[in-house]
Amino acid sequence: MPDETTPGAEQPGDRFAVTALVTPAQAAELFARDDLDFGCRPRLRPDADGTASLVILASRRTIDELRAKGHRLTVGENVSAAGRARLAEVGRGDRFEGGRIAPSGLAHKHLRPRPPGGSPGQAP
Amino acid sequence: MSFLNVIEIESALGGLCAAYPGVTELVRLPFATAEGRWCHALRIRSHWQCACRRSAVLIVSGAHAREWGGPDIVVDFAADLLEAYAAGSALSYGGASFSAAQIASIVERLEVIVVPDLNPDGRNHSQTVAPMWRKNRNPASSGGDPDRIGVDVNRNYDFLWDFPTKFAPGANPTTVASTDPASDLFHGAAGFSEAETQNVRWLFERYPWIRWFMDVHSFGGDILFSWGDDEDQTTDPSMAFGDPGWDHRRGVSGDAYREYIPAGYLSTVQSAATAVRDAIASVRGQPYTSAQSFGLPGWPGYPTSGASDDWSFSRHFADPSRRQTFGFTLEFNPTSTFFPSWAEMTDIIRDVDAGLVAFCLNARPGWLWVTWCHILTWLSDRVWHRLFPPELWGPYGPWTRLRRAVYGGLGRSKRRS
């Protein structure tokens, strides 16, 4: 599988983000199975030639099985390994100290000087 | 910076409530999770003293544990909204800009309720043990088998929950739901069997003026509107989810059954989804799509039962005394992963937060209603409370004390006689 990318060490049963190029009949065939993981909901993107790309989160065994049945697959990221790698990017402790610190949003605020007597939570 | 853990999500809400006390209220949701965690909602609005019930927007996230960025998006959205409102500032996400007047109109004309993390047990499990975990951590149906723990929160709402009866046998089993506790789509022992869904139902009952509902999920890059059980149709009201005569027929595209949606409502949900999509695109050009959640015309559908968007949308049809709520699902991140790096996630947060601001702007009630609401507030503040000040006429004022003293004296004299 030369087209896959693996962000960390692979473990048995890891699921890859696989893009299947499907016709409506093939999509119906895949949807009729009860053992496939399409993520939160299936993501079907039609192409101009009457086919569509469909993302499946599949193990190597499932990938081999689908290829044996003639499905055209492009194997992408090892999603399971990506999840394990991202565990290092989960917060430790409590950066907001139990509510003593308020989070600040990522938007750029076009701040102007607060009028005298203004206070947080009051209408500007 | 990094993804919020489950403790930080609740602390963030507490921090926002403490920092902006005039326009927020922290509400503890009444149902504890299987592992004993409590979730909170943050209500954001101005003019708390105004008795009229302005429309509310409810934004929830975190139902599916592995979809990590959702709670981060919702916390960030609340922080931005409050920060900008308190400062009287405009805000922008990349190419998407919102004026100070627009931000003020959201807080002053609407009520925004956010629940960033519906499923903290699942998120904690995903962020510490098994990143790909989707469900909650309720062991009730597991029979002691750790591989059978958990219920899919977004298949547990009471909308066509009994899918073996309500859907056609040929309906897509990989998306409808499952009766197998080992499945990622296990729908639970009964509709609303789970604390997570009970908390959402409680919010709708506690705040019946919720008119707009957004459930943030990933991945896909879609803004989805009802229905999710079958194709939409606007002509035959008798073909509807509440009619048992259509049982065993739903969920198959291209057949006789299509779910009824009034044409006006279809237009409303389509324009709202489009507004969100366009706002997201204006940030940095991300290609989100707005679509019916059942699927694309001409392609096999992917029906769902027990999903939050359809349940919230269906409540008015099931009981017309309830206000109509327009329910949506937002699948953030157009790529194919639940786990973008935090650097990528910050870009996604900006995208989706712009969409949520646009969602709220679209949900604002008309000026006539808002003006009436403010007249009531003005009358209450300037006239009623000045003529009858609470310190004189309220429960602790001299008039009440005098009245209690007189009644108490009368009672004592009666007992003596």
Residue B273 tokens read as 């989804």
Residue type, A112: R
**Per-residue model confidence as pLDDT tens digits over B1-28:** 899 999 999 999 999 999 999 999 999 9
For the beta carbon of residue B346, count every other beta carbon within 10 angstroms: 16
- CB-nearest partner of A98 from B11, B22, B127: B11
Nearest to B290 by CA among B340, B248, B331: B331
Bridge partners (DSSP) listed for residue A78: A16
Q: What angle do CA B219, B221, B217 make, to 5 degrees?
A: 45
Which residues of chain B are within 8 Å of residue A120 when distances are taken between CB atoms? Answer: 19-22, 86
Residues of B in contact with A119 (CB under 8 A): 22
Please report the DSSP string for B263-330 in residue order: HHHHHHHHHHHHHHHHHHHHHH----EEEETT--TTS-----SS-HHHHHHHHHHH-TTSPP-EEEEE
> Residue B14 — φ and ψ, nearest 5°?
-60, -40
Report cis status (omega within 30 of 0) of the bond before B393: no
Considering just the CA atoms, what is the radius of gyration of chain A in Å? Answer: 23
Please tell me the distance in Å from A76's CA to the nearest CA on chain B. 9
Q: What is the pLDDT of residue B415?
A: 73
What is B339-361 written as a DSSP string?
A: ---HHHHHHHHHHHHHHHHHHHH
The rounded distance, in Å, linking the Cα atoms of A109 and B98 is 10
Could you tell me the pTM of the whole model? 0.89
Q: What is the pLDDT of residues B97-110, one digit of tens each?
A: 999 999 999 998 89
- B347 close contact with A: CB closer than 8 A: no
Cα–Cα distance for residue pair B184/B154, rounded to 1 Å: 11
Check CB contact under 8 Å for B293 and A41.
yes
- Provide the 8-state DSSP code for A122: S
Write down the pLDDT at residue A3: 42
Inter-chain CB proximity B331 and A40 less than 8 Å: yes
Contact residues, B window 87-146, toward A, CB-based 8 Å cutoff: 87-93, 100, 104, 107-108, 126-128, 131-132
pLDDT in tens, A80-122: 999 999 999 999 999 999 999 999 999 999 876 555 555 545 4
Q: How far apart are CA B151 and CA B186, in angstroms?
A: 5
- Amino acid present at B214: M
Q: Strands B259-260 and B232-233, how do they pair?
A: parallel
Among candidate residues A79, A19, A70, A69, the one with its CA nearest the CA of residue A47: A19
Q: What is the pLDDT of residue A34?
A: 82
> Contact, B142 vs B149, CB < 8 A?
yes
C-alpha span between B157 and B132 (Å, rounded):
22
**Residue B236: its pLDDT value, please?**
96
How confident is the model at residue B119, as a pLDDT? 98
pLDDT at A1: 41
The residues that bridge with A5 in the sheet, in sequence order, are A77
CB contact under 8 A, B331 and A43: yes
Beta bridge pairs of residue B40? B28
Structure tokens at A118: 């203004």
- CB within 8 A of B15, min separation 6: which ones? A96, A99, A100, A101, A102, A103
Query: CA B311 to CA B303: how far, in whole Å?
Result: 14
Closest to B180 measured CA to CA, from B154, B132, B141, B135? B141
Q: In the A/B pair of chains, how many CB contacts fall below 8 A? A: 229
- Answer yes or no: is pLDDT of A124 > 70: no
Give how far B276 is from chain A: nearest CA, Å: 17
Question: At which residue do the structure tokens 């917060």 appear?
Answer: A91
Q: How many CB atoms lie within 10 A of CB A71?
A: 18
Instruction: Enumerate domains of chain B plus CATH numbers.
Output: 6-365 (3.40.630.10), 373-416 (no CATH)
- Residue B399 has a pLDDT of 74
Residues in chain A: 124
- Cα gap B305→B351, rounded to integer Å: 29
Counting as low any pLDDT under 70, the low residues of chain B are: 49-52, 385, 390-391, 393-396, 417
Q: How far is B336 from chain A (nearest CA, A)?
A: 6
Residue type, B327: G
**Residues of chain A found within 8 Å of residue B4, distances taken between Cβ atoms:** 91
Residue B350 near residue B89 (C-beta atoms within 8 A): no
Q: In whole angstroms, give the CA distance from residue B327 to residue B311.
A: 8
**B12 and A102 in contact by Cβ < 8 A?**
yes
Class of domain A16-88: alpha beta
